[in-house]
Each structure stands twice: as C-alpha cells, then as structure tokens.
A and B are shown apart, each in its own frame.
Chain A
Amino acid sequence: MNNDAEPNKGNATPTASDNVNASLKRRYAAERRFRRFGAFAVVLGLIFVAGLFGDIVSKGYTAFQQTYIQLPICFDAKLITGEGPAGCANEPLQLSDEALAFDRLSRANYRKLIRKALRERFPAVSGRLEKRALYRLISPGARFALREMVLEDSSLLGQRMDLWLVADDDVDMLVKGQIDRTLPEAERRIKDRSIAWVDSLAESGQIEKKFNTIFFTHGASREPEMAGIAGALAGSFYTLTLTLVFSFPLAVGTALYLEEFAPKNRWTDFIEVNINNLAAVPSIVFGLLGLAVFINFFGVPRSTPLVGSLVLTLMTLPTIIIASRAALKSVPPSIREAALAVGASPMQTQVYHVLPLAIPGMLTGTIIGMATALGETAPLLMIGMIAFIVDIPQGALDPSTVLPVQIFLWADSPERGFVERTSAAIMILLGFLIAMNLAAVVLRRRFERRW
C-alpha cells in the first residue's frame, strides 16, 4: 500500500503488483499446462485399461465358437468289430457279444471311418500327399467323439449318419478369417487346395461355427481345437479351496491375537514388522520356499493342488491378516467394555461380541486375498504345477495345473489357434476376478457399519 501511495515518476521501477500482473499470464498458462498434464495422465491410464481389455476381448471372443465339418459317417461294422457286412445298409445288425466287447469297440480304428467319409466327399483326390492334406481338414481328436458314440450305443453299427466333426485348427482359423488368403501360398499354414476343399464344403453348407463346448469340457491338449480349460479350472478350484481352508483360520487367529490379546512388547512388534514385510516379498521367493521346504523337506507331492495351496496360503496370509486387523480395529471399544462390564471374560467378549461384528470386514479381505491367489502364477511354476496334464484332476493329490499357468503354457505355444484360446482363458480368469471383487464390494456395502 505504501508503494501505491507514493507518486509514480514516469517509467520508474515497477511496483510489486505490476510484477504480479505482468507474471499472471505466464503463471496462468503454467497452471493450465499443469492441469492438462494431470488430466492427460488420468486419460492415459484409462486408455491403458481400455486397451488391455479391448485387446484381450478382440483376440479371444472368437474362441467361444469352433468350426465343425459335416460328413456322412458310415459306422462300418466290419471295420470296427471285424464282423458283419462291410459298408452301411442302414439295417439292424446281429453281432456276437465278442464283437461288441468294450475292449474291441474302444480299440477300433475310428480314424478310418473319417478318412473314408472324406474320400467319398472328395472323390477326385488322389495321391498320398494330397490325401494326407485332405485328412488334415478334420481334427485328429474327432475320432474320440465317434468312439464315445459307438461305446454308448452299439446299435449305431452299420448305420450311416450325418455328423458334425471338429475341424482342424488351421481350418478353424481360415473360417474365422484369421488366416490371410491373399498371402503367397508358401507363407500360409493352409495351402490353396485345402482352401478349395473348405470353400466347397462351405458352399454345400457342410461347414458351420458352433458354440465351443470342447473349450469348457476338455483338459489340455497339443491340438488347439481339442484344448480346454476344464482341467485348469478344476486345479484352480482345488487349490483355492484348500488355500481358503488353510489361510482363513490362520489369518483370523493371528489378527485376533495381535490386535486384541498380544502384550505390546518387542516380540509382537517383531511379528508385526514381519507381516508387513512378508506382504511385499516377491511371489517367486515363496515358490523357492515351497520347493525347498514343502517338496524337498516335507515330501509333499510335486505338482499337486496341496503343495500349491500351501505356498499360496503363506503368500496370501499377510493380506488377510492386515484386512482382518483393520476390521477388528473398526469395532468400537464400547462394545468390548460393555461385554466386559457385564462379566464376560476377554475371550468371551471377542468370540461373542467383537468377532461377529468384524467378520464381514475379514471376509472382504479374504475374498481379495483369494482373488490374488487365483491370479498368481510365478510361485506355482517353481513347484511343478506347470506340467502338461490332459486328465482333469479328481482331487487335491492329483497332478494338476491352474488357470493362470495354463494361460502361460498356451501363450508359449506357436499355433495360431492357441492365441484366441489363451485370450478366451484370460477372459474367463478376469471374469472370475471381477466377480470376486464385486462380491467383496457388495459385502462391504451391505455390512459396513458406521459407529
């Protein structure tokens, strides 16, 4: 104010407010820049989220359909059982029990039926190489479907039926438009003559995309069209169930002790620091622990959900403990004091009054811990859950793999068909994770109490 009061002589030194006014434009520009930069960072982050999900979905949605080829299959009794007339007269056959024995039916060469049908459909094909290329239209796994049919109903023998057979992954990719037809033939996995056959089948309506049930009912396979996530899902289920059974009581007990009973001394301080640090130990180190302690020292069988769940338990414990302690902390002391005042013992106070109020919060933390366990891969590689397992595991002691490891294994496979299946498996995994996190949010909203 003093400055303003004094007369300004011509172009004398500028006053403070002149300085401020002169710099305002620059400062406001800086302000706008800073703000725009911040908004840009948020938008960029959101773009990453959208890009990631968009990429996975656009790569994977096609895997929920699978190409099938319709062929008239003749269940040639002579070929399958070695008895009865050759060819198909569509008349009921009388075959001996010996011919219909399970052994003979399951060992029969069903591939020949498919090959014969293919040759009949394309009579012009000749020469060994060309025939082989023709046979490759149908998946090598298709014969198992025929075997199942015959084993279930032996009256099929001698009948001719129009059946939809699983197409090979190359055909599948071609039909889905993921193989570029304009590329020179040498750079394509599928050759011109095969494309011509596929087009001919398509013209007669013998190629169709159907919902891919194989993907949900089969275990791993070297053939993309026969590969499914059922085995991995079962493995994940057993592993996660055991992890929950082990970690929830342990975490709740630990939280209860540290929060409510433990004296404040060096030992409990040490435990606390330990838990906080364990939460940040890289997951792969837990894998090393599992390998050295559980497998090599205690002799827990490798590759099983049991050893996987032990490792994941140790890994998720800190998360659940920290959440459970927060839940216990949010129960107001007046509850405890009231219970103690009417003569409950400290243990009774906890069990009958504090725990029931804290359980929803603990469950929320547990669900989030389980979600991380479901997505964890690295430590499970160390303890051998990476094995190639075709059979769907039947229990916690069967060798198995889990969904994220299956994704890792498929991502390594060179076949084009595995890319879409990997993405589809990721979509399933993300679906589970989103469901679990939503459950946690709902639980929190529903039971959250403000005291």
Chain B
Amino acid sequence: MQTLYLFLVLLLLATLVYHFGRKRAIAVAGGQDWVQSLHSLPSYYGLYAAVWAALPAMLLLGLWAAFQDTILATLITGELTAGELKGQRLEFLINDIKALTRGGLAARDASPELRAVAETYARYQQLSQILIWVLVLGLALGGGSLALKATHPELRARNHVESTVLVILVVFSSIAILTTFGIVLSVLFESIRFFQKVSWQEFLFGLHWSPQIALRADQVAASGAFGAVPLFAGTMLISVIAMALAVPIGLMSAIYLSEYAPRVVRAWAKPTLEVLAGIPTVVYGFFAALTVAPAIRDLGTSVGLDVSSESGLAAGLVMGVMIIPLVSSLSDDVINAVPQSMRDGALALGATPSETIKRVVLPAALPGIVGGILLAVSRAIGETMIVVMAAGVAANLTANPLESVTTVTVQIVVLLTGDQEFDSAKTLAAFALGLTLFVVTLTLNVIALHIVRKYREQYE
C-alpha cells in the first residue's frame, strides 16, 4: 500500500515538474514569441525534467519493493538464533512474525521471544519505510531541480527524452527474454536439487511413482518412489485419445468449410466452432468429470465393462473436443494458402473435388497440417485442468483407456497444492516434472513453427 501511495505521489510530482520545466523553457527563450530559439519544443524540456524527477526515483522504489522483504527477513534471522526459537523452521517463524506485526496473530499465542523479535521486525519495517520515503522524494526533487536548472536553449531536450524512451522500450521488450530465463532458471535449479536426491535414471526410467513422504522414517517406502514412466505413459495415452478425436474432426471440418461449404454456412459455422477454443479449461474439466465420465461409466456397465469413474477415456475425449478448433483453424489457414491454380489444374484434368483435395491440396498443405498437429499435441500434453478434474491421481502403468491414469500436469498440481515444505523431494519433483514438460512442449513448438515457416516460404 505504501508503495502505491509513494508511486502516486511521484506521478503527481512528475506532472508538476513537467509544468515547471515547460514554463521555464519558455521563460529562458524570452517569452512565447521566442520559442523557436529553443532546440526543442517547450514540452520536451518539461518532459526532460519530469524524466529526471521520476525515473531514478521509480527505479529505487521498484528495487525496494522487490527486495525489502528479503532484506528484512535476513536482518531478523540473526535475532532468531537465540533461545528456543533456534532450530525451528525459519519461513514459518517469519510468517508468524509478519502476522504478529500485522495483528493477525493474537499476541497472547506467541512466545515472548517471538514477540520481541516481532517488535524488532516492526521497528525495522518502520525505519525502512521512512527511509524509502525520504530517499525517493529526495531523489525525485533533486533530479527534477537539477534538470530544471539545466534548461538552456541549446539543451537537446527532445533527443534526450527520445533516447530515454527508446531505452525503456528495449527494457520492456527484454521482459519476454527475462520470462524465458526465469522459467528455465527456476525450473532448472529446483530440478538440479531434485536430481541430487533422486538419480535422473530413476526419474526418467523408473516404473513406480508414489511421492508420498512418510511421517516416520522407518515406514515402508519412506523416501517415496519417483519413477515417472507411469506419468509419461498416462500423458501419452490421454493425448493419443484426444488427438484421435480432434485430428479427423478438426481436419475434415476445415476441409469442408474451406472447400465445400456455402459462404453462409462458413460464416456461421467457423466462429461457432471457434467458441470451443475460448471456453476456459476448467469448464471442460467440469463437463468431463460430471457429465462425460459418468456417461462412459454407465455405458461401460451396461455392456459389462468395468470402467473407472476417473477413466483416461473421458479426459481424453473432452480434451479432444477442446483441441478441435485449434486443429481446424490451423489446417484452414494452410489449406487456404495452397494456390488456387493448383486446384484449377487438377479440376481441369477431370478430377473430382474430393480427388483434388486428397491428391493435390492435402499433399501440398501437409507440412503445415503436420505443424498444426504438433502444436495441438503440445497443447494436449500441457493441458492441466481437464486432467486434474477428470483423470485420476493414482499412477497406474496401463494402456487401457478405461482405467484411471494420471499425467505429468496432474502430479505437478497434486504435489504443489496444499501444505508443502519447499525443500522436500516431493516438492522438488514437481519442478523436475515441470522441466520435462517445458522441454518437451518447447521442442514440439520449435519443430512445428519451423515446419510451418518453411512451408509458407514455398508459395509466397
């Protein structure tokens, strides 16, 4: 909250400085009639001063907001080593202390040591807040007044402002890179820590997955088993079912809509099908778990099959429905990109429309279609909510779609929701699974985009 107020005060200050800068530039030029003697328009002098007032201060504020918690936590960690607090879980203690300072935790429930530390924490927090107000406002006023003082007809205000804006744009555009690095680093570091506890051979090739952490050390399978093959198999099974539904329907509807359908039908059917792509996956999950899965189970029971109520089939079919619009719109794009002259040539030779499509259009569009299907596969592998809600949690190694299977994404969710300690092999396993997922989907995407791009170059 403090950060927000300070930010708003800074904005106000910058607006004021802008007006002063503009006025001052006009004054330096010798009045409104002599503005052309300035290098830049007066508003740029205002902007120049405003940038000097706001930018360094905002940077400082941003750093403070990002790191104050960490720094404060380190500061009080020193005090925690004393007395009975020693040896307890640090993060819990810090949470307690924060709750105490906020008044969220009743003071009488806390031990006197904890209360003492909480008081220190509150003092530090207050100090840091006063400090940041003083520093930020000082920096803003200092920068602003320096820039105002520098106003001079020869000052290249516009160029300075524009190059600052350009730098800001470059910083913005590297956020995307930072995100990728963030993903890679966060997932990688935790995975490395996981592989120090569990060997990667066991993880990639082990056939048994049961990550429960035992309550007592002497319990059976106390360390848990982290063989991820059942998860990979489950993911594959559900993706295969989904693709078996989505590819024929998606492809055939794309062909029909682009080659056969009357204009009116296309104008209505295409957007309606694309509605499927806009529906949140949690809705599909609900549909799968409460409508499709019971229906399949009842159907199976009526023909004498024993179907699990969390069957991979239900999750796979619903996921297939979700993917139909992806396959169909990507195929539609590539089919439309095939030049009309090729169709005309085949038709002129006496081929029927379907022969033209099967022998000429589809082979020409094949790379694009394959690329689209790969993208759809990567989507199916990374899909989470449908499988979390409709597929099971138990890691069965089976190829039977009527049984309950689990997937990589389900296990990530299961391992990371609820109470968790951050260092246990169980939590770290989620990051190892995330790394696998990231690598596989990224590879699929790179290949798919490469195929699509290479194909497009042929006809353009």
A and B bound? yes
Contact (Cβ within 8 A) B437 A382: no
Contact (Cβ within 8 A) A56 B287: yes
Neighbour of A41 across the interface among B183, B190, B249, B417, CB < 8 A: B249
Among listed A96-104, A126-134, A220-228, A293-301, interface-contacting one: A293-301
With A271-B173, A288-B430 as contacts: A381 and B417 at CB distance below 8 Å? yes
Contact (Cβ within 8 A) A375 B280: yes
Neighbour of A284 across the interface among B158, B286, B289, B412, CB < 8 A: B412
Q: In residues 249-295 of chain B, which contact A (Cβ within 8 Å)?
A: 249-253, 255-257, 259-261, 265, 269, 272-273, 275-276, 278-287, 289-291
A37 vs B259: C-alpha distance when bound (angstroms): 13
Contact with B along A280-292 (1 / 0, CB 8 A): 1111111111011
Shortest distance from the beta carbon of B134 to any chain A beta carbon, whole Å: 23
A377 vs B283: C-alpha distance when bound (angstroms): 10
In the complex, chain B residues whose CB is within 8 Å of the CB of A281: 183, 382, 438, 441-442
B180 close to chain A: CB less than 8 A: yes
In the complex, chain A residues whose CB is within 8 Å of the CB of B416: 287-288, 291, 381-382
B413 close to chain A: CB less than 8 A: yes
* A411 and chain B: residue at smallest CB distance: B286
Q: In residues 33-55 of chain A, which contact B (Cβ within 8 Å)?
A: 34-35, 37-42, 44-46, 48-49, 52, 55
Contact (Cβ within 8 A) A347 B434: no
A429 vs B158: C-alpha distance when bound (angstroms): 47
Contact (Cβ within 8 A) B176 A45: no
A258 close to chain B: CB less than 8 A: yes
Neighbour of B280 across the interface among A254, A289, A423, A433, CB < 8 A: A433
A314 close to chain B: CB less than 8 A: yes
A88 close to chain B: CB less than 8 A: no
Neighbour of A278 across the interface among B180, B324, B412, CB < 8 A: B180
Shortest distance from the beta carbon of A19 to any chain B beta carbon, whole Å: 12
Neighbour of A404 across the interface among B251, B275, B280, B422, CB < 8 A: B280
A28 close to chain B: CB less than 8 A: yes
With A42-B256, A288-B412, A426-B283 as contacts: A280 and B69 at CB distance below 8 Å? no
Neighbour of B287 across the interface among A52, A288, A433, CB < 8 A: A52
Q: In residues 349-375 of chain A, which contact B (Cβ within 8 Å)?
A: 371, 374-375
Q: In residues 402-451 of chain B, which contact A (Cβ within 8 Å)?
A: 409, 412-413, 416-417, 422, 430-431, 434, 437-438, 441-442, 445-446, 449
Task: Tell me the interface secondary structure of chain B in the complex.
Answer: helix
Contact (Cβ within 8 A) B190 A292: yes
A386 vs B379: C-alpha distance when bound (angstroms): 24
Neighbour of A254 across the interface among B158, B176, B381, CB < 8 A: B176
Contact (Cβ within 8 A) B166 A288: no
With A31-B353, A397-B1 as contacts: A299 and B69 at CB distance below 8 Å? yes
B137 close to chain A: CB less than 8 A: no
A170 vs B417: C-alpha distance when bound (angstroms): 31
In the complex, chain A residues whose CB is within 8 Å of the CB of B278: 371, 375, 433, 437
A81 close to chain B: CB less than 8 A: no
Task: Tell me the interface secondary structure of chain A in the complex.
Answer: helix
A291 vs B187: C-alpha distance when bound (angstroms): 10
Shortest distance from the beta carbon of A41 to any chain B beta carbon, whole Å: 4
Shortest distance from the beta carbon of A5 to any chain B beta carbon, whole Å: 21
- Which range contains the number of A residues in contact with the other chain? 35 or more
A422 close to chain B: CB less than 8 A: yes
Most buried by A among B158, B175, B352: B175
A200 close to chain B: CB less than 8 A: no
In the complex, chain B residues whose CB is within 8 Å of the CB of A345: 158, 162
In the complex, chain B residues whose CB is within 8 Å of the CB of A423: 286
Contact (Cβ within 8 A) A378 B281: yes
Contact (Cβ within 8 A) B253 A42: yes
- Which range contains the number of B residues in contact with the other chain? 35 or more
Shortest distance from the beta carbon of B404 to any chain A beta carbon, whole Å: 16
A90 close to chain B: CB less than 8 A: no
A298 vs B381: C-alpha distance when bound (angstroms): 30
A44 vs B441: C-alpha distance when bound (angstroms): 29
B25 close to chain A: CB less than 8 A: no
In the complex, chain B residues whose CB is within 8 Å of the CB of A376: 280
B168 close to chain A: CB less than 8 A: yes
Contact (Cβ within 8 A) A429 B280: yes
B66 close to chain A: CB less than 8 A: yes
A150 close to chain B: CB less than 8 A: no
Contact (Cβ within 8 A) A49 B272: yes
A292 vs B185: C-alpha distance when bound (angstroms): 9
In the complex, chain A residues whose CB is within 8 Å of the CB of B257: 42
Shortest distance from the beta carbon of B316 to any chain A beta carbon, whole Å: 14
Can you list 18 A-B contacts with CB-CB less than 8 angstroms, sorted by A residue number?
A: A39-B256, A45-B249, A48-B321, A52-B287, A56-B287, A250-B175, A274-B180, A280-B379, A281-B382, A282-B409, A285-B382, A285-B441, A288-B183, A289-B182, A345-B162, A381-B388, A405-B282, A437-B278
Query: Which residues of B are in contact with A by a Cβ distance under 8 Å?
Result: 1, 66-67, 69-70, 73, 158, 162, 165-166, 168-170, 172-177, 179-180, 182-183, 186-187, 189-190, 248-253, 255-257, 259-261, 265, 269, 272-273, 275-276, 278-287, 289-291, 321, 324-325, 328, 350, 352-355, 357-358, 375, 378-379, 381-385, 388-389, 409, 412-413, 416-417, 422, 430-431, 434, 437-438, 441-442, 445-446, 449
| Nearest 8 Cβ contacts at the A-B interface | A282-B382, A375-B280, A38-B256, A299-B69, A292-B186, A253-B172, A41-B252, A378-B384
